[in-house]
Chains A and B, each alone.
Chain A
Amino acid sequence: MNSFKGVVGTSVARPQARRFVFGRGRYTDDLRIAGTLHAVFLRSPYAHARIEAIDLDAARTVPGVVAAFDGKAIASVCAAWTAQFATLPDHRSAAQPPLAVERALWQGQPVAIVVADTRAIGEDALGLIEVQWHELEPLPHPVATAVADPAHPPLHAALGTNIAYERCIVAGDPDTTLAGADRVIKRRFQFTRHTGVPLETRTVLAEFEPGLRRLTVYQSTQVPHQMRAIYAELLGLSEANVRVIVPDVGGAFGVKLHLYDDEIAVAAASMLLGRPVKFVSDRLEAFVSDIHARGHTVDASVAVKNDGTVLGFEVDDIMEMGAYSVYPRTSVGEGLHAISLTGAPYAAPALRARLRAVFQNKAPVGSYRGVGQPIACGITEHLIDAAAAELGIDPAEMRRRNFRRAGIDPPKTAGGIAAGDLSHQRCLERLLQLMDYDGLCAERASARKAGRHLGIGIAAFVEMTAPGTGLYGAAGVKIACSDGCTLRLEPSGVVTCVTGATDQGQGSDTGMVQLIGDALGLDFDQVRLVAGDTAVTPVGGGTWASRGLVVGGEAALGAAHALRDRLIDIAAALLDVRRDALVLSASAVRERDGAKSLSLAELGGMMHYRQDLLPSEVERSPVVTFHVVPTGLIANGIQASLIELDPESGFVKPLRHWVVEDCGRVINPMLADEQLRGGVVQGLGEALLEECRYDERSQLQNATLADYLVPMASDMPDIVIDHVHTEVTGTLLGAKGIGEAGTIGAAAAFVNALNDALRAFGCAISEIPCTPERVLRALRRVP
């Protein structure tokens, strides 16, 4: 009788995947709205230049060009913005205009917008715009120079400094602790800038209706409600008159959760013209206008005793920013993570960490998958391996001796992170088993005899997921850390889920449907999901910080439990049985041990058309809403990498990669593993290939996909994944986030593996990406 089998914890395939593979995804660029115009931007060719004059007249005469606006014209309907956090009073930035006015501060900053019947016509007109530039000196590059040269004129004169933010963390009396060290191992690290490169570039279609003064923005974004609040505020509209709709999104990785000058300029142009205006970022302009990330120059050290005990870490991080701190989240989250999470997996009590975030004449820096956590992991795990090698201790054993022990070490790390119940030791033991660590070490030894250079590297990490309202709300920033879910029992018995979470392809929608289906005894295809429309969905944070399924799923589960209880109340009255004798399964409320039942279709029909039949003493609405306020959950895991080094050419090949991760309960193993695999691939991209290369004039040298190398499937190793499950208390879901875990640890594991192989040559590398040339330099084969 009871045929229903739960699907939570099983690998249900994403129904959307089939749709995308059939080419039937509907992205913002696929929308056809009558009368739509196309926007193109003139961008600054200089990293720093004064705009003496702009002449748009010739561009305006091109047939098919409807309008052209400079910065002043756009500023007439769109206010400038300044990233500010009440919780970071020392953080400084300057007012950023939608289009540069008087001065351009990075190569790629938009200076003028042309609106035309087609994009091609707009591009023709761009060539006719006359700008009188006066090139100015860009801020020094690299940043270490900028810090060393405080005399350099500040980019924003009113701030009086090029250091946007400085922060120090001191814990565990580092002076005394470090004085007791037998050895201090120091390294200089260079993490090169890179960017997110989603398959679908940023796209926005803004439609302003002058009659009602209503603005609808179709946008490829992770954060519809955040964008609604921003558009309303900066464009001077009532928030009730702004609607943000998110069609399918082809990847985001953090790129699509910031305010972009060109995107709001499109909305401003729509207001000025009273017509729909669309902008699709070209790949070329994506490289100079999407947020960049990483870009850290770090001096760091670890203090150890001869018995292998790690006493503490010191970190001095100079972090690259762009010309502005990015709005509304600021650019400094990356640096804050980098310094506060250094050493996080270890019991070492002492930490002295300093961050300086420095303005540059480069594209703004923002949150990209991992947000500073790969930096912290890269520093920490490199130093742990270097210490282990100096002390002659096996890297796995070094970690075993120093990991924080749940229930024994203080619940907070030296960096102030509540990490009391993390499973580092269990993850390590599972990893060693999974990869056959001893067998691999033997294989490495025999390969070396045969002239092959294999390397094994391990990297443990923590992952901050699903942060609470202290992050943004308390900072005075209108970003919800909460999420809500509305469930509606339809007359047909199908349940519609309306969620504030957004899915950029990771499959969080599927996870939510699984949760709702199980809670209500419905088959997977009996649940429909609606998302990404601020006019419809509950206000929510959207997707970032590994929160989509954790917060959105928790809200969905809470709503499903509430709807379940309501259906049981009604059915108990109608069937005349006790509530606790009823369960939901196989699309019906039924007696656990009896024959009576009411299908959800019957209940749905009555709740919509025959309310007269329902008991009056119970709640009869077919709609429930549940909101969740998360408090922040910290996940952890460990990765390992096996590589082969060709010491003659400097080429390094990743051979295999392993991940053991603990996110508590796994809702959908296939989707969780794919999140890890995708993250690992991005991390290996960081380690091997990806870098935004700037020259001395802060000109980006490699703004095409032929020159900015992203990892390709054919070059990636097999990635073996397993999970350790620590119970998560205090939530219905029992799950932590997993979206960034792969990225956080992959580069560190790879670099440690490479350094394991380089140790035979008495050298090491601490700069990523590990290009063949950098490896050859480390090997002293080229100057």
Chain B
Amino acid sequence: MKFAPFDYVCTRSLAEVYDLIEARGPDARILAGGQSLLTTLALRLSEPSVLLDIGGLQELRFIEERNGAIHVGALTRHCELETSPLIAARLPLIAQAMPHVAHAAIRNRGTIGGSLSLADPAAELPACMLALDAAIVLASRDGERRVRAEAFFKGLYHTDVRPGELLVRVEITPLEKEWRFHFAEFSRRRGDYAMVGLAAAARGPGPLPEELRLAFLGCGDRPVRAREAERVASGSASAPRAERYSALRRALEKDLEPQSDPNASSETRMHLAAVLADRAIEALSG
């Protein structure tokens, strides 16, 4: 299929973007890397009246350290995150997750701002933001506001972005040295959206994690921190595998509400989530 007709504006400044968002209302859509938006247009699933292309706004394209936090501009491409030495050194969870994000051709164009704004519950970066407790920075003509990742993702393709706002960067304070990270997912083919995935972090000077963060993707209408499983897991890291799986599974029943779809039933997703959690603890122990 072909796109339905729309206006296209190649924006030259953030101020222009804010003006146009206001002038054109909710039918205006921001075009960044285009890797999700253009597909929905080609399927005529969405017919916006205007596309505001922000691809030329170089001020949104950076990865840098400021005051101990890593700031990533919204237009940063997935491939740039994947290959950044700063990300590899300071945010290794993201570095681990990036190869799972679609295929190289998509990573060449897709952007972090686009991925987070779309808020696909099966995407990798939102779960990483949750595990790392990132601050999402939203800007409008009236200034900036910071939203913690957990409050930013509000539902299926639904975020805290308000009319007139644009996601401009994320700010992530790296966790201290004694944190370890693990990213894994189950997908039918390499590069597909995951059936279930897990971004995990564990703290502990010794071999067993004392504190855990488990952020799941593909297990609900948004990325989900599994608080009950985190609590249970911290205490059962040394338990036998079968016992630990059962404990995690019981906890995840409280944490997650995976939906059934033609790819997998909710029971299958719950089972796979428990397998991922169990394996993450194994990987993060000693």
Contacts and interface: CB of A to CB of B under 8 A. Distances in A.
B141 interface: no
B265 A773 contact: yes
A306 to B, nearest CB: 39
Contacts of A772: 186, 188, 195, 264, 268, 272
Interface of B is mostly: loop
Interface stretch (B1-9, B68-76, B126-134, B203-211): B1-9
Interface in A111-133: 118-120, 123-124
Contact of A648 (B2, B5, B268, B275): B275
Contacts of A701: 262
B189 interface: yes
A-side binding surface: helix, strand, loop or mixed?
loop
Interface residues of B, number: 24
A76 interface: no
A123 B189 contact: no
Interface in B168-203: 186, 188-193, 195
A206 to B, nearest CB: 21
Output the residue of A689, A711, A782 with the most chain B CB within 10 A: A782
Interface residues of A, number: 30
Contact of A124 (B5, B192, B195): B5
Given A772-B195, A782-B265, A649 B272 contact: yes
Contacts of B43: 284, 704
Interface string B238-267: 000000000000000000000000111101
B110 to A, nearest CB: 15
A227 to B, nearest CB: 26
Contacts of A711: 189
B146 interface: no
Q: Which of B1, B191, B267, B275 has the most CB of A within 10 A?
A: B1
Nearest to B270: A782
B148 interface: no
Contact of A782 (B188, B190, B271): B271
B101 to A, nearest CB: 15
Given A649-B275, A776-B268, A282 B1 contact: yes
B192 A709 contact: yes
A84 to B, nearest CB: 36
A120 B44 CA distance: 11
Interface string A309-341: 000000000000000000000000000000000
Contacts of A782: 265, 267-268, 271
A696 interface: no
A617 interface: no
Contact of B2 (A120, A771, A773, A781): A120
A123 B44 contact: yes
B190 A120 contact: no
Contacts of A706: 192-193
Interface in A633-649: 648-649
B264 A773 contact: yes
A702 B261 CA distance: 11
Contacts of A650: 268
Contact of A651 (B4, B186, B263): B186
B257 to A, nearest CB: 17
A715 interface: yes
Contacts of B271: 776, 781-782
Contacts of A707: 262
A650 B264 CA distance: 12
A284 B5 CA distance: 20
A473 to B, nearest CB: 41
Interface of B: 1-5, 43-44, 186, 188-193, 195, 262-265, 267-268, 271-272, 275
Given A772-B195, A773-B264, A773-B265, 4 more contacts: A123-B2, A772-B264, A776-B268, A782-B265
30 contacts: A118-B2, A120-B5, A123-B1, A123-B4, A123-B44, A124-B4, A124-B5, A282-B1, A284-B1, A284-B43, A648-B275, A651-B186, A693-B262, A701-B262, A707-B262, A709-B189, A709-B192, A712-B191, A714-B189, A714-B190, A715-B190, A772-B264, A772-B272, A773-B264, A773-B265, A776-B268, A776-B271, A781-B271, A782-B265, A782-B271
Interface of A: 118-120, 123-124, 282, 284, 648-651, 689, 693, 701-702, 704, 706-707, 709, 711-712, 714-715, 771-773, 776, 781-783
